[in-house]
Every structure is written in structure tokens, then in C-alpha cells.
Amino acid sequence: MIEVFSNSFFVYFLIPLLILISRIIDVSLGTLRIILANKGIKLYSAVIAFFEVLIWLLVITTIIKNLDNVAAYIAYCLGYALGTYFGVCLDEKISFGYIKLRIITKKNLAKMIEDLRPTKYVFISNSVNSSHGKIKIINAFLERKYLKKVIKRVKDRDPNAFYTIEDLKMIKEEPKEKRHFFITNKSK
């Protein structure tokens, strides 16, 4: 049995592979934990931190036991890089939390708002003068999971619309029922 674990296949392929997979999981969890903590979600952040550190300890212990294994070092570094990438991808897929979508357009504001009115988002709109002439600004506050749907509606109405997206830590009071409201300010 001991010969199996001292075998070069195990030492130079299997151990680095396990380190790589563990680091991908560990760093993905770390990325997710930081995102949750920034959004004020404390309990889940703490639970994830526990498992993140547990995995890290197991990986470091394995590397210390195999200090002469360069493949383990490479797997550790590659796992960190891939874990960061997959953690960000995971955050995009989960799509929780709130965002502020600022839409800037020269098109008819009333038509765009009518397209968006049946939704359950909060909109604030203004018509303003800019260095490029009269423009319309719509500030939409919505859950991240609806972002693609709203952007598609905006782009269908105005393919040249410019928009920015800001991540919000929290919205102080989320409505109990799903509703929307509009505040419109037209400057003269």
C-alpha cells in the first residue's frame, strides 16, 4: 500500500491535480465570501470563510509534505488563478443583490419608460441639458438578476443608448410587495 503513495504518478500527477482542484474551490469560495461580505451578508460569509480556510490548511499541509515537488507549486499557483476566474464567473451566474442602472439617451423618454413600466423596478428619470444637447437620464434600481432583461428592452428601444451599472451594497427598505414607481423631472 505504501508503494502506491510513493509512486511517481501519485506524487507528480495526482497530488498536484488534487492541489489544483482544491485551490480552485478554495479561491472561488474566497471570492464569493468577499462579494457577500461587501453586500453585508455576514452569516454566509462566515460559513464560507470556515470552509475556505479548512481547504487551504489541507492544501498547505500537502505542499509542506512534498516540498521537492515543483508540480505541486505550479498547481497551487494555477489553482489560485483559476479559482479567481471561476469565483468571478460564479458571482455573475448567481446574480444576487441590487444595482443602479443609469441609462442615457436622446430618444423619447416617455416611450422608453412605457416599455419598462410593467416591470417591478424603481425608476427615476430626468431630462437635462448636456454638452451634447438635450438628453434623457433614467436611473433604474433593480435586482441584478433582471439586468440583462432591462438592458435588452433599452437596446430594443434605442440601440445607441449609453448606460452605466453601479453595484449597490443594499437598498434600505425593500418593498414588501412587488411594485414600481416613477419620479420624472423635466428641466426646461
pLDDT digits (tens, 9 = 90+) for 107-146: 876 776 776 666 667 778 888 888 888 888 888 888 888 8
Place of cell 453595484: 167
State which of 94, 116, 149 marks the end of a domain: 94
Per DSSP, what are the bridge partners of residue 184? 125
State how far the alpha carbon of 62 is from the alpha carbons of 26, 76, 83, 173, in Å: 15, 11, 18, 48
Eight-state DSSP code of residue 10? I
Band the pLDDT of 1: cuts 50, 70, 90.
very low
CATH code, 157: 3.30.70.120
Range(s) of the domain holding residue 23: 2-94
- Residue 100's Cα: distance from chain center in Å? 14
pLDDT tens-digit profile of 25-37?
999 999 989 988 8
Between 24 and 35, the more confident residue is 24
Residue 5 has pLDDT above 70, yes or no: no
Among 98, 95, 87, smallest CA distance to 40 is for 98
Statement: residue 63 has pLDDT above 80: yes
Domain termination residue (choose one: 94, 114, 132): 94
Task: Tell me: do 105 and 166 sit in the same domain.
Answer: yes
Q: Using CA of residue 91, residue 95, residue 98, residue 100, what is the dihedral sign?
A: positive
Cell of 108: 423619447
Residue-level pLDDT at 46: 96
137 within 8 A of 126, measured Cβ to Cβ? yes
Q: Note whether 85 and 110 are same-domain residues.
A: no
Answer yes or no: do 75 and 105 share one domain.
no
